Amino acid sequence: MAKLTVTIDGQAVEVEEGTSILKAAALVGVRIPTLCYLENINEVGACRICVVEVEGKEDFVTACNTPVEDGMVVRTNTPALRAARRTTLELILSDHPMECLTCVRNGNCELQALAAQLNVRAVRVSGATHADLPRDDSTSGIVRDPRKCIVCHRCISVCADVQTVGAIELQGQGFDAFVGPPANLKLAETRCVQCGQCALVCPTAAIVEKDDTDKVWTALLDPTKHVVVQTAPATRVTIGDMFGLPPGTPVVGKMVAALRRLGFDAVFDTDFAADLTIMEEGSELIERLTKGGVLPQFTSCSPGWIKFIEHFYPEFLPHVSTCKSPQQMFGAVAKTYYAQRQGIDPESIFVVSVMPCTAKKFEAERPEMNAASRYWNNPRIARDVDVVLTSRELGRMLKQAGIDFPNLPDEEYDEPLGLSTGAAAIFGATGGVMEAALRTAYELVTGKTLEQIDFHAVRGLDGIKEAVVPMNGINVKVMVGHGLRNARQIMEKLKAGELKDYHFIEIMCCPGGCIGGGGQPIPTDTAVRQKRIDGIYRVDAAMPYRKSHENPQIKKLYEEFLEKPLSHKSHALLHTHYTPRN
């Protein structure tokens, strides 16, 4: 590609054709302020904060989406620019409820940060606001507060382009424009999958996770309750972000210690249930392969993906594994096997999950997720999982409790639902469920030991990944997709009959998998995702067991309770059905 030379604030720099002024400026150490810009996702130039002067042009141009031209002379910090940026920001603030002190994004808000950066000391504009737009808390996972929306378009771009759901759009025109579902629908009435990717990118508190921390504080204080907590695979490399640790730092031991200090009666691991998922889902795959079942089989651990296929491709639901997600398997096992083994009244067990995910809140509330109630034939046992906390909510609870997270000692999970393998840890990253399944399926099918257990072909941030693994004369063909745009592409291929010779396909709803889930610490961008992925494979490599079927507690669970994968009991507790939503 051609090289161009531009001058930015007096410094010449050579860049490739097509480079934006914003990126060229960064190369010479100039960070032009931005607000709506989100690299590769939202480069629409809505906020006009990144305006710069270009010699020879009367009006300003936006640095984020204007490509440099050869010989261009750009100025980024003139009195006129400072005034324009500040006036634009004052206009934005004049229509913003100044509720920082009681706002969930206080201290981690891009609007706040920009006001500080631009040295805004007063908002001189007043007179017209969107203060009467109603809050929307219709979904289980996320809450919208359009009063705090600055119409930056990020959520629209993420929902439409990254997730291909298109649940929220720009409504109305001019000053009256606002962001929300069409026709004044509530979000719960749309095809929103509750992935929370919009909340992850929202610069303000206009879209946030539903806060369930009070329910957990109340349960922890209740002496009649036995409160157990499970931690999702992806959380072990993300909780540290909120305490200033570098993204991707493995913090599993500290997280266990912190949860114990919060007062949980037992600290368990969703990873245990991830190993269980592999046993069930791997066995299901082998059964489909040998008995002529529907193939390719799709993974089912991502509730955002499940809701997506229920809405958009319900005719293909028979392809989806009937296995519940690890979160729900855990809940069912905790209120049956664990209750029985420990002699605890299942009614008194209160299961809290720490998840990377807002869709998990929705999943836990699905009506069919009450296996323990059916098992004990006791309607007073309501849900298998009582409360789902996102990573962000746990971070808030730990701060509120004054827990000095970075300096905690490492502690171990409790028995018996705390033991897990490296295979379970990698569930947190795109490709991880597939790799874990291959590690186990290979050994179950061939009876041989798998020597090379790292499946590099299915790792990493490429949108769609593929591998072929020979097992006993069958070339097992697998595919992995993450982010719903890639999921949709795969579904279109399936529809066109192009995936007939594939056996197993993993889909995770969120880009990068759960390490990039909608409940994860903010910011979560591509660079952060990559660091978390690296972290999770480091966790895997350091585990004493790295294949799910080698987990001694899982073996025990089958011996003492479930008998074998796909047994009658397994089906009742660990498998589920889906709801077409077309």
Partner 1 sequence: MSSGGKEAQAVELARFFFDLVRRESCGECLPCALGTRQVGVALEGKGAEGTLLREIGRAMKQSSKCGVGRIGGALVLELLERYPAIFKAGA
Query: C-beta of 96: minimal distance to ligand SF4 in Å?
Result: 6
Active-site amino acid positions: 281, 284, 301, 321, 360, 363, 368, 514
User: Distance between CA atoms of 254 and 408, rounded to whole angstroms?
Assistant: 6
Partner from partner 1, ligand SF4, none binding residue 94, C-beta < 5-8 Å depending on class: partner 1
Q: Which of 78, 126, 218, 446 binds partner 1 (CB under 8 A)?
A: 126
Say if CB 159 and CB 518 are below 8 A apart: no
Q: Residue 91 CB, nearest distance to partner 1 (Å)? A: 4
Identified binder of partner 1 from the candidate list 83, 382, 474, 542, rule CB under 8 A: 83
Composition of the chain by helix, strand, coil, percent to 5: 45, 15, 40
Residue 113 or 344 with smaller CB distance to ligand SF4? 113
Nearest by Cα to 165 from 177, 157, 173: 157
Element (H, E) at 6: strand 3-8
Please state the length of the chain: 582
48 binds, among ligand SF4, partner 1, none (CB under 5 to 8 A by kind): partner 1
Give Cα separations from 251 to 41, 257, 415, 438, 581 (angstroms).
30, 10, 19, 27, 39
CB neighbours of residue 407 within 10 Å:
8
**Shortest gap between Cβ of 266 and partner 1 (angstroms)?**
50
DSSP state of 503: -
Neighbours of 111 (CB within 10 A): 22
Residue 577 contacts residue 328 (beta carbons within 8 Å): no
Question: From the CB of 2, what's the least distance to ligand SF4, in Å?
Answer: 35
Return the residue of 27, 91, 113, 464 that touches partner 1, per CB under 8 A. 91
Minimum gap (Å) between residue 495 Cβ and partner 1: 34
* Helix ranges (DSSP H) in 447-497: 484-495
CA neighbor of 494 nearest in space, from 304, 308, 317: 317
Q: How many Cα atoms sit within 13 Å of 562 on the Cβ side?
A: 26
* Nearest Cα residue to 303 out of 282, 281, 328: 328
Q: Rule CB under 8 A: is residue 88 a binding residue for partner 1?
A: yes
Query: Could you list the residues that contact ligand SF4 (CB under 6 A)?
Result: 96, 99-100, 103, 105-106, 109, 111-112, 142, 148-155, 158-159, 163, 165, 167-168, 179, 192-198, 201-207, 302-305, 356-357, 359-360, 508-510, 513-514, 517
Residue 475's H or E segment, with its range, is: strand 474-482
431 binds, among ligand SF4, partner 1, none (CB under 5 to 8 A by kind): none
d(CA 524, CA 235): 13
Nearest approach, Cβ of 122 to partner 1 (angstroms)?
11
Inter-residue contact 209 to 196 (CB < 8 Å): yes
51 near partner 1, judged by CB under 8 A: yes
3-state secondary structure (DSSP) of residue 110 = helix
Closest CB to ligand SF4 belongs to which residue? 517
In angstroms, what is the minimal distance from the CB of 92 to partner 1?
Answer: 6
Considering CB distances under 5 to 8 angstroms, the limit depending on partner class, which of ligand SF4, partner 1, none binds residue 202? ligand SF4
Q: What minimum distance in Å lies between the beta carbon of 66 and partner 1?
A: 12
Stretches 168-176, 232-240, 387-395, 458-466: which one binds partner 1 (CB under 8 A)? 168-176
Asked whether position 47 contacts partner 1 by CB under 8 A, the answer is yes
- Residue 62, exposed/middle/buried by CB under 10 A (0-12, 13-18, 19+)? buried
48 lies in the site for partner 1, by CB under 8 A? yes
Kindly tell me which residue out of 124, 456, 495, 571 binds partner 1, with binding defined by CB under 8 A: 124
Does residue 528 contact residue 404 with C-beta atoms inside 8 Å? no
**127 touches partner 1 by CB under 8 A:** yes
173 binds, among partner 1, ligand SF4, none (CB under 5 to 8 A by kind): partner 1
DSSP 446: H
Which residues 6+ apart lie within 8 Å of 34 measured at CB? 22, 47, 49, 50, 63, 64
* Residue 429 near residue 512, CB atoms below 8 Å: yes
Q: Does 172 bind partner 1 (CB under 8 A)?
A: yes
Cβ-based nearer residue to partner 1, 30 or 149: 149
d(CA 568, CA 554): 17
Which C-beta is closer to ligand SF4: that of 232 or that of 286? 232
Pick between residue 47 and residue 289 the one whose CB is nearest to partner 1.
Answer: 47
Which residue of 12, 128, 294, 542 would you call a contact of partner 1, by CB under 8 A?
A: 128
Cα–Cα distance, 231 to 256 (Å, whole number): 9
Q: Does residue 78 touch partner 1 according to CB under 8 A?
A: no
Residues engaged in binding partner 1 (CB under 8 A): 44-48, 51, 59-60, 62, 80, 83-84, 87-88, 91-92, 94-95, 124-128, 150-151, 153, 170, 172-177
